[in-house]
Amino acid sequence: MLQEESDLSLVIAQIVQKLKGSNLYAQLERQAWASLQRPEIKLQSLKEDIKEFFKISGWEKKLQNAVYSELSVFPLPSHPAAPPEHLKEPLVYMRKAQGSWEKRILKSLNSMCTELSIPLARKRPVGEQKELLNKWNEMGTDEPDLSLFRPVYAPKDFLEVLINLRNPNYENGDSLSFRTHLGLIQVPLKVKDIPELKEFFVELGLTTGQLGIDDSTQVPPELFENEHVRIGQKVLAEQDSAAAQQYIRQGSPTALRAELWALILNISSQPEDILYYEQLKTNVIQHDLLVDSLIYKDVKLTASNDDYYFVFEDYLYQVLLCFSRDTSVLGHFAYNSASPPKSYIRGKLGLEEYAVFYPPNGVIPFHGFSMYVAPLCFLYHEPSKLYQIFREMYVRFFFRLHSISSHPSGIVSLCLLFETLLQTYLPQLFYHLREIGAQPCKVSIWFLTHRTVP
């Protein structure tokens, strides 16, 4: 009991520390000072009265949401003596694999750089800056020559790396045995089986209503849909993040989806968020990065090439170009097995004072990266809000889909889960696919790295 209590107080202390630096803290302080004017605030019961005031005015709810937001990315409890890299990834062999994968990506990027004689970054001449500013809302009309650029890697390259992952402590022997996995992923990670999944996704059970199923044309709306929509509106009125997350497990009404997601991610467009986005935009205007061309190429190859006409191409540039320059994203590397690539000022290789992260946000876009942003464009139309939503989703969820880790929501576990389920419940299909050379993971790697939100 004592251990738990001290763990809890440690967590509280860490979160308080984190929130002290946030804008919310400053606002709460201001609000507290301003509330002294109010008649109901008495000196004798100052603390209680201010707490009560916060509760009524909705500020307590905002604080609650912020705490909830921090908890969602809070690392799992670990040994106090564990080094920080254990937070990123506890298994050594996984860390090593991620490290060598990163080296490969960087090599590829650097060689492209040398081949094309294009600097990693350069300052734009004033004329070019003006031109870009004018074209900001229609960058899709730009047709730069991208023929020499190639994506740094594609999901299938990444899959090759995953296939070759081996736990050195787990001896399979050279020959195939019944213990060898028939699938591509050969690491012994624990994945949930169907009973566990049923428990985990209890809201998808047959006796619980879901939107998308229980609001189809044949089902009268009184049975489920109307009530669920009403609850959704209530959740939004209360502005409760945790409640929204629970609510949405039964599906989100179309009209409420944008607001619900924003609430869950604790995104509200404050003036400083808009300013921050504008600052990023200025960075884009002033400097050109090599990764920008990779982004352009990716958008043209994927989102713009959609069979079903993707109309929001311009938004993608407005989000992704800014994203590359957002150094606040670096914070997520504390719990991501990946590490941001470092670049050195010319001539100062190895000298830490002259090291910068490249790209500034530490994330090198790969083939299909823009597809992470694409679905969000249907919900959010204000660029800074769309940006915030995407960034938050990336640092909470999407990064796990393209880094090598043992995390249960990481791509390795997802692939293994997929293969195991298929093998267990549809063995004939699994076997057939193997026979015809279409390993299920190979076939669905694109889906797994893009459509699953852990």
Residue pair 411/162 in contact by the 8 Å Cβ criterion: yes
Nearer to another protein, 54 or 387 (CB): 387
Q: Least CB distance from residue 67 to another protein, whole Å?
A: 29
Minimum CB separation of residue 312 from another protein in Å reads 4
* C-beta closer to another protein: residue 378 or 431: 378
The nearest distance, CB 216 to another protein, in angstroms, is: 8
Residue nearer to another protein on the CB measure, 296 or 366: 296
Residue 173 C-beta: closest distance to another protein, Å:
49
Q: Which is nearer to another protein, 315 or 369 (CB)?
A: 315
Closest separation in Å from C-beta 404 to another protein: 35
Nearer to another protein, 193 or 306 (CB): 306
Interface residues toward another protein, by CB under 8 A: 137-138, 141, 216-217, 254-255, 257-258, 305-309, 311-315, 377-379, 381
Q: How far is the CB of 281 from another protein (least distance, A)?
A: 17
Closest approach of another protein to the CB of residue 306, in Å: 7
Give the nearer residue to another protein in terms of CB position, either 254 or 279.
Answer: 254
Contact 163, 187 (CB under 8 A): no
Q: Whose Cβ is closer to another protein: residue 263's or residue 377's?
A: 377
Q: What is the 3-state secondary structure (H, E, C) of the chain?
A: CHHHHHHHHHHHHHHHHHHHCCHHHHHHHHHHHHHCCCCCCCCCCHHHHHHHHHHHHCHHHHHHHHHHHHHHCCCCCCCCCCCHHHHHCCCHHHHHHHHHHHHHHHHHHHHHHHHHCCCCEEECCHHHHHHHHHCHHHHHHCCCCCCCCCCCCCHHHHHHHHHCCCCCCCCCCCCCCCCCCCCCCCCCCCCCCHHHHHHHCHHHCCCCCCCCCCCCCCCCCCCCHHHHHHHHHHHHHHCCHHHHHHHHHHCCCHHHHHHHHHHHCCCCCCHHHHHHHHHHHHHHHHEEEHHHHHHHHHHHHCHHHCCCCCCCHHHHHHHHHHHHCCHHHHHHHHCCCCCCCEEECCCCCCCHHHEEECCCCCCCCCCCHHHHCHHHHHCCCCHHHHHHHHHHHHHHCHHHHHCCCCCCCCHHHHHHHHHHHHHHHCHHHHHHHHHCCCCHHHHHHHHHHHHCCC
Query: How many residues in the chain?
Result: 454
- Decide whether 141 or 177 has the Cβ nearer to another protein: 141
Task: Name which of 242 and 379 has its Cβ closer to another protein.
Answer: 379
Q: How far is the CB of 315 from another protein (least distance, A)?
A: 7
Query: Measured from the CB of residue 211, what is the shortest distance to another protein in angstroms?
Result: 13
Least Cβ distance, residue 24 to another protein (angstroms): 28
Select 312 or 369, whichever has its Cβ closest to another protein.
Answer: 312
CA distance 22 to 36: 23
